[in-house]
Amino acid sequence: MDKGEQGRKFLAMSDYDLAHEQLTRDLFYQKVPPEQAEQYVCTALKIGADVAKACPSKDIYELCADNNIRVEKLSAKGKYFGVRMRAEIHMSDEETKILLYWQSIEDITQSLQDFFPDDQRMSLDTILKMHLAHEFFHYIEQRDSMRVNEMLPKVVTFSFLGFKRRATILTLSEVAAHSFSKELLQLPHYPYLYDKLYALSL
């Protein structure tokens, strides 16, 4: 299957299918009871969308300003243990700031152009806002003590002689953040799609 055909296949996927695939990449996905996977995905998608609908503004820059979040655009490509980052949030008692790695965001913007007709291409500004909204959702999780991964049942990661170790599914927080971004910005696709298309271009 060539890249064009793969891209069209990805574009045909629903939000649920994309979010479910995203969930399968979690370290503990194999520990999720099969009958609960749909609940996890649907609940995380709904939480993200509901939080976006409840926001007093749909302007992500205004939301950041109203919450005293500094937005800093860096020209470098963000990297963490070899993984390229496009945005990240830093929260401390002194300051909350979101770092946007301009070159990394420009790279994904350019790579996505090959998969969409001219009238459906996303601008650099829209993709930048998408990443900013994603990080803003993680700020809300922290501010409101509503970490999505902790709102859903833990999975058993180890069991021996009656002793059980449990853990949360961290990817559920990412699913909710993508859903938040899509709803807030009224994006045409669930944002994980853009990561998949970008990976095709590498």
Identify the pLDDT of residue 84. Answer: 64
Identify the pLDDT of residue 159. Answer: 85
Q: Low-confidence residues of the chain, pLDDT below 70? A: 1, 77-84
Alpha carbon distance 202, 197 (integer Å): 9
* CB-based contact 24:38 (threshold 8 Å): no
Identify the pLDDT of residue 79. Answer: 53
pTM score, whole prediction: 0.92
* CB-based contact 32:167 (threshold 8 Å): no
Identify the pLDDT of residue 80. Answer: 47
Identify the pLDDT of residue 174. Answer: 97
Q: Under 8 Å CB-to-CB from 39, ≥6 apart: which residues?
A: 152
Identify the pLDDT of residue 82. Answer: 44
Residue 101, CA atoms < 13 Å, CB-side half-sphere:
16
